[in-house]
Amino acid sequence: MASNLRALEEDEDTKSLSESITDYPVTWGRRYHKYKEGSYLFPNDTMECDRLDLQYQALKMLHDDQIYFAPLKDPKRILDIGTGTGIWPIEMAALFPNARITGTDLSPIQPSLVPPRVSFEVHDCTETDWCRPLASLDYIHVAIMLGSLPSYSKLIKNARRYLKPGEGWLECHEMMPDICCDDDTVPPSWPFRAWHSYLEESITKMESPKPLRVADKLATWMREAGYVDIHERIDRIPLNSWPKHPSLKNIGRLWEANWLDGLAAFSYKLFGPEGLGWTQNEIEVFLIDVRKCIKDRNVHAYQKMYVVYGRRPSEEEEKAMMKKPSKPAMAKGGASSAKAKPKGYK
């Protein structure tokens, strides 16, 4: 009888916990996460999941089908922070069948049918305790977390504690939100740049601001946190299909679709009642011209995508580093290893 009562209580606890995570709030027709409600500003509904997978494919194509860059040999434990739909752990499982890969996210939106050694957890990466042994991970992967973290540098420092000394790698993939252009085809008053300015204004007004411009600081933060063998790769991703280069044209098509599919989702929370105080109608009217900008092939705009990875030093390396004067721990060619502009990128 007592055991049955305990089982019933456990079932009730599980049900309560499940409801606390999956009882998703809906705003203006878009669904948002429940766990740590409000800490992530973007939706988690089916439309957003489809966009996340599209974004993943665009960046995978940009990187010539590479989904990691750190020199992994035979990793046994891998952690993917902000895993989203879980597509990255699933694909990594095919490359490293002996690795146990865990994806964490605020939303349990990942599929239930996954490879045997892939699992997902609901967890907030801004917490210090990542619920696993220190110095136990071979590789930590973080991607597209701009605008999601109060302090990216704290995440980098905390990740170091969980990596194996001497062989554990942290790899971060982040985009600079700034719109770049090399031929002055961006008009002086361009609604898409105005959209970015409003976005930045809203984020800076938040009680706990979550910076957007983090990508170009990743290498510095890794260096300051004590990582070594730091590498930085910078790619240009066109806003739409304006480039002549065939592969960049295809990438641009996907990136345009990614922006068009996500623009409202990126705007609602930050421009709406919780941000700038606009109504949904005011936002949608403003976005009409922004969408026109994104589609305009006469404007040769692009954004920069950063991949930065570094290794936790061994105890011997740490002792040696403490004896020497402080010097940048960037690997040879790291800071200047931006990918060359492909022929036809004009």
Q: Regarding beta strands 301-311 and 169-181, do their DSSP bridges make them parallel or antiparallel, or are they unpaired?
A: antiparallel
| Residue appearing with tokens 């027709």 | 29
Residues 6+ away with beta carbon under 8 Å from 266 = 42, 199
Q: What pLDDT was estimated at residue 36?
A: 85
Domain 28-323 has CATH 3.40.50.150: yes
Is this structure's pTM higher than 0.85?
Answer: yes
* DSSP letters for 154-222: HHHHHHHHHBPTTT-EEEEEEEEEEEEESSS-S-SS-HHHHHHHHHHHHHHHSSS---S--GGGHHHHH
pLDDT (tens digit, 9 = 90+) per residue, 156-170?
999 999 999 999 999
pLDDT (tens digit, 9 = 90+) per residue, 200-236?
999 988 878 899 999 999 999 999 999 999 999 999 9
What is d(CA 216, CA 113) in angstroms, rounded to the nearest whole number? 37
Residues 6+ away with beta carbon under 8 Å from 203 = 147, 209, 210, 211, 212, 270
Q: What pLDDT was estimated at residue 331?
A: 55
Q: What pLDDT was estimated at residue 195?
A: 97
Residues 86, 114 contacting (CB under 8 angstroms) = yes
Q: What pLDDT was estimated at residue 328?
A: 52
Q: What pLDDT was estimated at residue 10?
A: 37
What is d(CA 335, CA 162) in angstroms, rounded to the nearest whole number? 25
Q: What pLDDT was estimated at residue 21?
A: 83
Task: Judge whether residue 117 has pLDDT over 50.
Answer: yes
Q: How confident is the model at residue 326 (pLDDT cuts 50, 70, 90)?
A: low
Task: Judge whether residue 153 has pLDDT over 50.
Answer: yes
Q: How confident is the model at residue 20 (pLDDT cuts 50, 70, 90)?
A: confident
Residue closest to 302 by CA, chosen among 176, 198, 146? 176
What is d(CA 323, CA 327) in angstroms, rounded to the nearest whole number? 11
pLDDT over 90 percentage in the chain: 77
**Residue 320 structure tokens:** 């040696």
Residue closest to 48 by CA, chosen among 266, 274, 294? 266
pLDDT (tens digit, 9 = 90+) per residue, 252-268?
999 999 999 999 999 99
**Residue 319 structure tokens:** 């002792």
